[in-house]
Amino acid sequence: MSADSTDRFEDSSAAQQQFLSLFLRSEREIFRYVAALVPNMTDAEDIVQQTAMALWQKFDDYDPAQPFTPWACRFALNKTRQWIERRQRWQALLNRGLAEELAQRREELQPELEQRLRRLETCLRKLPQSRRSLVEGYYYERAGIEKLAERSGRTAAATYKMLQRIRHNLQLCVESQANPEAA
Amino acid sequence: MTLAFPSPEYDDVVAAVCHGTATEAEMSALNELLRSNPDARDEYLMRVEVHSRLASEPDLFPQVTDAAAPSRVPETGFSESRNVFHAKPRMQKSTRTRGRLLALAACLALIAAGTRGLWVRGVAAGKGTTSNAIAMLTRSVDAQWGRSTQPLRPGSALGPERLRLESGLAQVVFYSGARVVMEGPAELQLISPSEAFCPAGRLLAEVPGPARGFRLKTTQLDVVDFGTSFGIDAMHGRTELDVFKGKVEFSGGTAAKQPLREGRAALVQGSAPPQLMAAHPEAFTAMFELEERSQSSEAIRLEQWRIASAWLDRDPSLVVHLDLEGHSGSDWTLRNAADKNQSVQDATIVGCHRAEGRWLEKQALEFQSVNDRVRLAVPGNFESLTLAAWVRVQGLDRQFNSVFMCDGFEPGAIHWLIRNDGVLSLTVKGPGSRNSEIVASPPVLTLDKFGMWTHLAAVIDGKTRKVVHYVNGLPVASHTLRLGPPFRIGSAELGNWNAESGPNPAPSLIRNLSGSLDEFELFSRALTDTEVHDLYTEGKPQLEP
């Protein structure tokens, strides 16, 4: 065992704490980066988790002078690539360079996305109660679609459709709000 | 299939991708479109962003549970009301996220724990935590893996696969909680979180209570475990089973299922009936030592608690969190670790000894003499409160033994204490001089709990006026108050009481605790049963009951 690996062990708890605090601060950002490629929540979370393990294993290489999130996102892109290799369906979506293109374009659009989505909370509050509780059930409680369907007395397909419609309305709302005249 | 943009089909496919329900044909078509049409691509990114924000920003979901809700809308003063309205759901959210985080932290800790003598730089990263993982390699010593097995290292997640250990020792922890140590040469086929097959080799299995029913097969034997430790020595045509602790049930050869008790062994050769004899643990010494050599389970628990604790510190309703971490013997202050509240900077230690906490490396404070106390001041009025502490009571020497008591008898003050008969008592002081209410539990801190780390909590819900006492995460008493909020803490003490009664106080006013304290939390809201139980679970000394 080399000297620095000893240090690594002796210091593991401090290093871990430092790592976790950096990671926790960036986690949502990393999640959204991954979700731009693999939007399904549980899959994206799975990839984020794998990314965390990879980041921790390479944490010695991290230069604290550099921002953590972009460093982490490079790993996230790699992990996403590895993850889709084993999943034909997602390969179909992301192959022929689309994964890289989406990641890059999202970065370019970032300021605009930020600005528009600043209004998301206000727009959510404007939703009728029943719709808001569906969004909350799906995204916040992470209740399964069957459960949500049962709660609202809809079919699962109709529940998905309703979520799609709500997101559409939210998007219209944030876009109108992002327009300075409308604000 | 081809997609046009804009079109209802495009809308549906994008939504299906978000929901994880899109077919391969739909995904192919979308790929085609997004690569050729920049507008469709940008719109796609925007839609996915709305979706991923909703999925990743719990703060977007305030629980409007109060009539005053509309006042939250103006941006000014929003952060104030946020504390109130977000508090509850945030905690629920954090409970869920914390579970996930715990898993992550445990993985990190396992990697760290496994680095003792094993950390090899530049080794290809172990397999990630795949969704089909059923176990994890947690430890190994001089392990040489067979060629057919890809490089394994502590922390590697294991799916249903065959492990070939040529030499050395390795420990596999199944997700059911069962631990199997292998001594090379040995093979182990992992089947499920609670089942494995050993064609050849020596193994030591430790099965804690929750993993009861763990099943291990060899070519001769089928062993079902009932919460024990047992060894297997399997080779072609012959298996020996040794039970070191507890009881197993096995079937082998032509014989029917039969139990095998602690200290006994069974040898099965060919189709002959099992031959019974005394167990000989000496054959498994090396594997027992691997267990003993390592204190990492304790270290892992501490790490898990630290992570859960760091997460908890972000709860906006957490007013005080004394985790007793990182203070030195000469340091007389305890830092308040609650991130979101600056009203209480720290607490002051008066007297007290440093003691070992719930884990070897965790600090605690021991209260013995009438001087020992931790003082703090918590400004403000509270509608609801939750108090929680990890204590190890040594004895109940006084008539009233303070856990956390506000100084004197001010209106709205809280006295949380243990009576000498083991009753948990919470006194809420009303406005008048003789006006107070006491909520007492049955005697719960009985002799058998002395010397053990115990989690105590008391919840005062100002809305429903309900007070609940908890011991180790479970409610033990509940009572509805006549008195209502606001409740006040002001100056208060842990482990003692400042009765503000002048010199020579009456014996009933001396209320110092005899025991140790390893963590204290004060929340400005009423935690639910589940949340209190989570606090207990995340802080309990061992994972197993």
Domain B318-539, what fold? Jelly Rolls (2.60.120)
Task: Tell me: do A92 and A163 sit in the same domain.
Answer: no
| pLDDT per residue as tens digits for the range A107-147 | 999 999 988 888 898 899 889 988 999 999 999 888 889 88
pLDDT at B112: 46
The interface residues of chain A toward chain B in range 98-117, judged by CB-CB distance below 8 A, are: 98, 101-102, 105-106, 109, 113, 116-117
CB-based contacts of B417, cutoff 8 Å, min separation 6: B400, B401, B402, B403, B405, B424, B425, B426, B427, B497, B511
- Give 3-state DSSP helix, strand, coil % of chain B, rounded to 5: 25, 35, 40
Higher-scoring residue by pLDDT: B78, B365:
B365
At residue B74, the pLDDT reads 32
Whether A33 and A97 map to the same domain: the answer is yes
For residue B501, the model assigns a pLDDT of: 59
Peptide bond connecting B6 to the previous residue in cis, omega within 30 degrees of 0: yes
Banded model confidence at residue A20, pLDDT cuts 50, 70, 90: confident
Q: Alpha-carbon distance B133 to B190, whole Å? A: 10
**CA distance, residue B53 to nearest chain A CA (Å):** 7
Which chain A residues contact residue B308 at CB under 8 A? none
pLDDT band for B31, please (50, 70, 90 cuts). very high
pLDDT in tens, A36-91: 999 999 889 888 888 887 888 788 888 888 899 999 999 999 999 988 887 888 99
pLDDT tens digits along B335-352:
898 888 888 888 999 888
| Beta-sheet pairing, B487-494 with B373-382 | antiparallel
Distance from B33 to chain A by nearest Cα, in Å?
A: 10
Which of A62-76, B84-98, B250-264, B373-387 has the weakest average pLDDT?
A: B84-98
Instruction: Tell me, letter by letter, the H, E, C secondary structure of B218-273.
Output: CCCEEEEECCCEEEEEEECCEEEEEEEECEEEEEECCCCCEEEECCEEEEEECCCC
Provide mean pLDDT across the span B39-66: 84
In this complex, the residue of A49, A117, A139 whose CB is nearest that of residue B55 is: A139
Q: What is the pLDDT of residue B84?
A: 29
Which residue in chain A has the smallest CA separation from B104?
A49
Task: Please determine, for residue B371, whether its predicted confidence score (pLDDT) is greater than 80.
Answer: yes
Q: Mind listing the pLDDT tens digit for each residue in B220-270?
A: 888 988 778 899 998 877 889 999 888 899 987 667 888 999 899 999 887
B481-499 tens-digit pLDDT: 988 889 999 999 999 988 7
Query: CB-CB: which of A9, A40, A82 is closest to B19?
Result: A40
List of chain A residues whose C-beta atoms are within 8 Å of the C-beta of residue B15:
160-161, 163-164, 167
Whose tokens are 């492990």? That residue is B163
The pLDDT value recorded for residue B153 is: 61
The pLDDT of residue B159 is 80
Looking at chain B, which residues constitute the CATH 2.60.120.200 domain(s)? 318-539
Which of A173-177, B67-71, B346-350, B372-376 bottoms out in mean pLDDT, i.e. has the lowest?
B67-71
Report the share of chain B in percent with pLDDT over 90.
Answer: 36
The shortest CB-CB distance from A35 to any of B55, B61, B107 is to B55
B135 token code pair: 């176990």
To test the contact with chain B by mutation, choose from A7, A18, A20 the residue with the greatest count of B C-beta atoms within 10 A, namely A20
B257-310 pLDDT, tens digit per residue, is 889 998 999 998 877 888 899 988 888 877 777 765 545 556 677 777 877 787
The CA angle B17-B21-B22, to the nearest 5 degrees, is 55
Task: Give the least confident one: A85-94, B207-216, B453-462.
Answer: B207-216
Residue of chain A with shortest Cα separation from B309: A17
Do A132 and A103 share a structural domain? no
Q: Which of A5, A28, A56 sits opposite B111 (nearest CB)?
A: A56
Least CB–CB distance from B48: residue in A16, A36, A96: A36
Residue A50 sits in a domain whose CATH number is 1.10.1740
| Predicted pLDDT of residue B543 | 61
Q: Is A168 on the interface with B (CB under 8 A)?
A: yes
The answer to whether the Cβ–Cβ distance between B100 and A145 falls below 8 Å is no
- What per-residue confidence (pLDDT) applies to B85? 30
The reply to whether A36 and A87 lie within a common domain is: yes
Q: Report the pLDDT averaged over residues B46-63.
A: 87
B118 falls in which pLDDT band (50, 70, 90)? very low
Same domain as A131, residue A73: no
Q: Are residues A15 and A2 in the same domain?
A: yes
* CA-based nearest residue in chain A for residue B73: A122
Residues A43 and A100 placed together within one structural domain of the fold: yes
Evaluate whether B401 touches B514 at the Cβ level (below 8 Å).
Answer: yes
- Asked if B93 lies within 8 A of A56 by C-beta distance, the reply is no
The reported pLDDT for the residue numbered B293 is 52
Q: What's the alpha-carbon Rg for chain A, to the nearest Å?
A: 20
Reduced to 3 states (helix: H, G, I; strand: E, B; else coil), residue B513 is: coil
Considering the domain delimited by B114-294, tell me its CATH architecture: Sandwich (2.60)
Q: Dihedral sign for Cα B67, B71, B72, B77, please.
A: negative
CB contact set of A49 (below 8 Å; sequence gap of 6+): B100, B103, B104, B129
The CATH 2.60.120.1440 domain(s) of chain B lie at 114-294
The beta-carbon neighbor of A105 closest among B45, B50, B112 is B45
> 3-state class of B539 per DSSP?
helix
Question: What global pTM score does this model have?
Answer: 0.43
Check CB contact under 8 Å for A93 and B30: yes
Residue A53, token pair as written in the block? 């393990």
Q: What is the mean pLDDT of residues B61-83?
A: 37
**Predicted local confidence at residue B108, as pLDDT:** 59
Number of domains in chain A: 2
Q: Is the pLDDT of residue B157 over 50?
A: yes
Q: Domain ends where: A96, A114, A132? A: A114
Mutation for testing the A interface, residue in B2, B18, B51, B141 having most A CBs under 10 Å:
B51
Which residues in B lie closer than 8 A to residue A2 (C-beta atoms)?
121
CA–CA dist A74, B2 (Å, integer): 32
Helix (H) or strand (E) holding B288: helix B285-293
Measured CA distances, B31 to A96, B39, B138 (Å): 8, 13, 41
d(C-alpha B44, C-alpha B341), whole Å: 40
On whether the CB atoms of residues B128 and B147 are closer than 8 A, the answer is no
Lowest mean pLDDT among B41-45, B424-428, B502-506: B502-506
State the Cα–Cα distance between residues B264 and B230, nearest whole angstrom. Answer: 10
The interface pTM score, or ipTM, of the predicted complex is 0.92
Residues of B in contact with A50 (CB under 8 A): 128-129
Q: How far is A106 from chain B (nearest CA, A)?
A: 7
- A7 and A93, same structural domain? yes
Indicate if the alpha-carbon torsion angle B71, B76, B80, B85 is positive or negative. positive
Q: Which of residues 27-56 of A touch B (CB under 8 A)?
A: 28, 31-32, 35-36, 39-46, 49-50, 52-54, 56
What confidence tier does B155 reach under pLDDT thresholds 50, 70, 90?
low
Q: Exposed, middle or buried: residue B246 (CB in 10 Å: 0-12, 13-18, 19+)?
A: middle
Write down the mean pLDDT value for chain B: 80
Range of A95's domain?
1-114
Answer whether B50 sits within 8 Å of A174, measured CB to CB: yes
Mean pLDDT of the B20-38 span: 94
- Inform me whether the pLDDT recorded for B422 exceeds 80: yes
Do residues A102 and A182 both lie within one domain?
no
Is A58 found in the same domain as A3? yes
Task: Answer yes or no: is pLDDT of B97 > 80.
Answer: no
Residues A110 and A122 in one domain: no
For residue B198, the SS3 value is coil
Least confident of A4-8, B399-403, B431-435: A4-8
- The three-point CA angle B154-B157-B159 to 5° equals 135
What's the pLDDT score for residue B106? 55
- Clarify whether residues A105 and A29 are in a common domain: yes
Domain boundary among A114, A132, A162: A114
Structure tokens at B117: 């003598």
Rounded to the nearest angstrom, the minimum Cα separation between B298 and chain A is: 13
> Which of A80, A164, A173 to mutate: most B Cβ within 10 Å?
A164
For residue B78, name the pLDDT band (cuts at 50, 70, 90). Answer: very low
Q: Which CATH number belongs to the domain containing residue A173 in this structure?
A: 1.10.10.10
Average pLDDT over residues B140-154: 70
- Looking at residue B382, its pLDDT comes to 94
Among A85, A114, A143, identify where a domain stops: A114
Determine whether the interchain pair B51/A167 forms a contact, defined as Cβ–Cβ distance below 8 Å.
yes
Find the distance separating the first CA and the last CA of chain B, reported in whole Å.
56
